[in-house]
Amino acid sequence: MKKGIRKKIRNYLFNIIPENMRRKLLLSRFDLNEIATTELTLKVAETDDEILQALNIHYKSYLATNLIKDQRNPFRLTKYQLLPSSTILVAKKGNKVVGTLSVIGRGELGLPIESGWDIQSLTNKYAAIYEISAMAVDLEYPKNPGEVLFPLLKFMFEYTIDYLNAEAIICVFNKLVEPFCRDILCCKPIKSFKGNYKLVRDSKPLAYYMDARKMSRLYKKVYAKHSNKTNLYKYFFTNGPSKNTIFPEREYFKSSDYRLTPRLIKKAIDNNFNFKELNLIEKENIANALSNPSLIVAAGLEEGVPRNYQRSSARVTFFSNGVIQDKKCNLMYYTKCINVSTNGLKVKVLGRKLECGTQLELRIPIADKNILRLNVQVVSKQQENTYGLQLNNVSKQWIDFIEHQQSSIKQFKETDEVA
């Protein structure tokens, strides 16, 4: 009882001291100069072994902090990680994964945060929003967890900003991590909590976000007078990638680097991923997102899902800002691309209503210094300010771009073994 009271008093006193003092106290436990010399390989998890190690670390870490229940299969894969809009990042020491986090794009199920918060103000402002989820460090790692955490965060920033063109980064933490997120990472709180957040066992989770486009300038301002030992601006943004960082190859912009295989999905969800809690709409949305029959069978979604899940032109999540020109009245306005397919796109347009049948020219960036002009027609209004656009003609470059987006889920044949 006395211990609990002392802890509350200590936390109260810590929170009332000035922010810059809190930051110095928290960072005093770390030495970024030493952390920068840590021999870790940082990469997108590509093999089944790397991903299963990451899911095992995720499971053990969350179990140790009572965020999840014990289960027979020691892997934790959420429904959001199952979607092709997700990417698993890892930090490796030799062949052993010692740290992981997942970068979740806003796919068919939305973002994990949306089950507990209203983020419409953010989705109206940003096209490319990513949520950082499933962050964990190996509990058996013998050294300071910061030696894994900071390199992993550095890689995450480089990957999301430079390779996914992220505009905003969201994270949900428990109360224990609040000082780190608020004072060290300089995140802004999201206060519109509506309850019913069930991804973990936490009745009072906290949500934060960062404007990815302004992070470098913010960190420069906050950490300008810090020594190299605690200067996160230099560590994250000016020192360059860590020595053993491996970035994915890119021909065009992508919104994820999905690497889950049928065999891995089957192994990871066996005995622990309770699809009975998913309603039919969620099952259909997941199946439509996976689109590949082998992945759908591995996820156990082949029964009870309408057979039309195998679309002739599967939609792929792709986030980008674009410009639309109305050919009839010659007006131009901004749009946010949500997903793409061989025959069309789904876009969000703010401050402008579109009528079905309207002919438009859409300009979207698909690679560095490569803005594609598309002649499209409005064919549907799907939600408020969200429209389906159909291409009037399909160019070879567009087909190449779509195939690049679909490459990670099209590689498996229907006969691929999942047992």
- Whether 350 is in a domain gets the answer yes
> For the whole model, what pTM was predicted?
0.91
Specify whether 80 is located in the same domain as 135: yes
- Whether 245 is in a domain gets the answer no
* Percentage above 90 pLDDT, the chain: 62
Q: Which strands form 168-173's sheet, in the order they lie side by side?
A: 41-44, 86-93, 96-105, 129-137, 168-173, 206-211, 188-190
306: exposed, middle or buried (C-beta count within 10 Å: 0-12, 13-18, 19+)? Answer: exposed
Q: Which two tokens stand for residue 229?
A: 């030992």
Instruction: Please give the radius of gyration of the chain, using alpha carbons only, rounded to the nearest integer.
Output: 22
Total domains present in the chain: 3
- Whether 252 is in a domain gets the answer no
Q: Which two tokens stand for residue 114?
A: 């949306």
Q: Is the pLDDT of residue 418 over 50?
A: yes
The residue to which tokens 């044949």 are assigned: 413
The residue to which tokens 């796109």 are assigned: 345
Mean pLDDT of all residues belonging to the chain: 88
Specify whether 329 is located in the same domain as 306: no
**DSSP letters for 294-311:** HHHHHTT-SSSS-GGGS-
What's the pLDDT band for 344 if we cut at 50, 70, 90?
A: very high
Using CA atoms, how far apart are residues 345 and 323, in angstroms rounded to an integer?
A: 13
Domain that holds residue 76: 2-238
Element of type H or E holding 383: strand 370-383
- Whether 78 is in a domain gets the answer yes
What is the pLDDT, as a whole number, of residue 171?
A: 96
- Whether 224 is in a domain gets the answer yes
What's the pLDDT band for 126 if we cut at 50, 70, 90?
A: very high
Q: Is the pLDDT of residue 232 over 90?
A: yes
Specify whether 298 is located in the same domain as 216: no
* Percentage above 70 pLDDT, the chain: 89
Provide mean pLDDT across the span 311-334: 83
Helices (H), 189-332: 215-223, 232-233, 262-269, 280-290, 293-298
Q: How far is CA 350 from the centre of its chain?
A: 24
Specify whether 321 is located in the same domain as 298: no
Q: Is the pLDDT of residue 395 over 90?
A: yes
CATH number of 208's domain: 3.40.630.30
Specify whether 298 is located in the same domain as 175: no
pLDDT digits (tens, 9 = 90+) for 191-223: 989 888 888 888 789 999 999 999 999 999 999
Tell me the backbone φ, ψ of residue 41, rounded to 5 degrees. Answer: -95, 125
266, 258 Cβ separation under 8 angstroms: no
Closest CA to 229 of 22, 29, 91: 29
Using CA atoms, how far apart are residues 151 and 158, in angstroms rounded to an integer?
A: 11
What's the pLDDT band for 309 if we cut at 50, 70, 90?
A: very low
Q: What is the DSSP letter of 245?
A: B
CATH number of 339's domain: 2.40.10.220
- Whether 261 is in a domain gets the answer no
Q: What is the DSSP letter of 107?
A: B
Specify whether 64 is located in the same domain as 195: yes
Specify whether 347 is located in the same domain as 283: no
Q: Which two tokens stand for residue 222?
A: 């906050």
Q: Is 141 helix (H, G, I), strand (E, B) or coil?
A: coil
Q: Which two tokens stand for residue 297?
A: 């069978």
Q: Which two tokens stand for residue 21?
A: 């003092």
Using CA atoms, how far apart are residues 324 and 301, in angstroms rounded to an integer?
A: 38
Distances in Å between the Cα of 307 and the Cα atoms of 150, 284, 285 are: 45, 10, 13
Element of type H or E holding 33: helix 32-35
Tell me the backbone φ, ψ of residue 381, rounded to 5 degrees. Answer: -110, 115
Q: Is the pLDDT of residue 112 over 70?
A: yes
Of 256, 290, 310, the residue that ends a domain is 310
Specify whether 227 is located in the same domain as 282: no
303, 276 Cβ separation under 8 angstroms: no
Q: Which two tokens stand for residue 40?
A: 């870790």
Specify whether 218 is located in the same domain as 94: yes
Using CA atoms, how far apart are residues 417 and 419, in angstroms rounded to an integer?
A: 6
Specify whether 138 is located in the same domain as 229: yes
Residues whose CB falls within 8 Å of the CB of residue 25, separated by 6 or more in sequence, listed in order: 14
Q: Is the pLDDT of residue 7 over 90?
A: no
Of 295, 310, 325, the residue that ends a domain is 310
Specify whether 156 is located in the same domain as 170: yes
Of 238, 262, 297, the residue that ends a domain is 238
- Whether 199 is in a domain gets the answer yes
Specify whether 85 is located in the same domain as 208: yes
Q: How would you classify the pairing of strands 168-173 and 129-137?
A: parallel
pLDDT digits (tens, 9 = 90+) for 270-281: 766 556 678 888
Q: Is the pLDDT of residue 416 over 60?
A: no
- Whether 251 is in a domain gets the answer no
